[in-house]
A and B are shown apart, each in its own frame.
Chain A
Amino acid sequence: MAGMSGKRLQKELAKIQGVLPPGISLVSAEDLREWQMDLIVPDNPIYPPDEEYRLRFHFSANYPIEAPEVVFMLLSNPERKIPMHPHIYSNGIICLDLLDKQGWSPVHNVESVCISIQSMLASNTKAERPPGDAEFVRSNRSRPRDINFLYHDPTV
Chain B
Amino acid sequence: MASYQADQLKEQGNAAFRNGEYLEAEALYTQAVQKYSRNPLIFTNRANVRIRLMDWNGVVNDCSKSIEITGANAHNHKAWYFLGKHAVAKTLLTSNRQLGLHHPNEALTSALTAYDQVLHPQPTAKISPKDLETFSAFVLKCKKAKFAARDLERLRRQGDLRAELESLLETQRQRDLDEVTTQLGRSQLGNIEASERSHEITTTLDDKITSLRTVFGAADPAKHEAREVPDYVIDMITFEPMHDPVMTKNGHSYERATIYEHLKRSPTDPLTRDPLTIKDLRPNFGLRAACEAFWDSGASEWIADWS
Contact = CB atoms under 8 A, between A and B. Distances in A.
B273 A4 contact: no
B237 A7 contact: no
Contact of B271 (A1, A65, A66, A107): A107
Contacts of A66: 265
Interface string B239-276: 11000000000000000001001100110101101000
Contacts of B238: 4, 7-8, 64
B257 to A, nearest CB: 9
B137 interface: yes
Nearest to A5: B238
B130 interface: yes
B133 interface: yes
A107 B270 contact: yes
B277 interface: no
B236 interface: yes
Given A12-B239, A65-B237, A65-B261, A105 B137 contact: no
Interface in B267-291: 268, 270-271, 273
Interface in A1-42: 1, 3-4, 7-8, 10-12
B305 interface: yes
Contacts of B130: 1
A132 interface: no
Nearest to B141: A3
A105 to B, nearest CB: 5
Contacts of B134: 1
Nearest to A3: B137
Nearest to A106: B237
A10 B134 CA distance: 19
A105 B305 CA distance: 26
A105 B239 contact: no
Listed residue (B134, B266, B268, B273) with the most chain A CB atoms within 10 angstroms of its CB: B266
Contact of B137 (A4, A10, A64, A104): A4
A7 B240 contact: yes
A104 B270 CA distance: 9
8 contacts: A1-B130, A1-B133, A1-B134, A1-B137, A7-B238, A7-B240, A7-B305, A8-B239
Given A1-B130, A8-B239, A12-B239, 17 more contacts: A1-B133, A1-B134, A4-B133, A4-B238, A4-B258, A4-B261, A7-B238, A7-B305, A8-B237, A8-B238, A10-B305, A64-B237, A65-B261, A65-B265, A101-B265, A107-B237, A107-B271
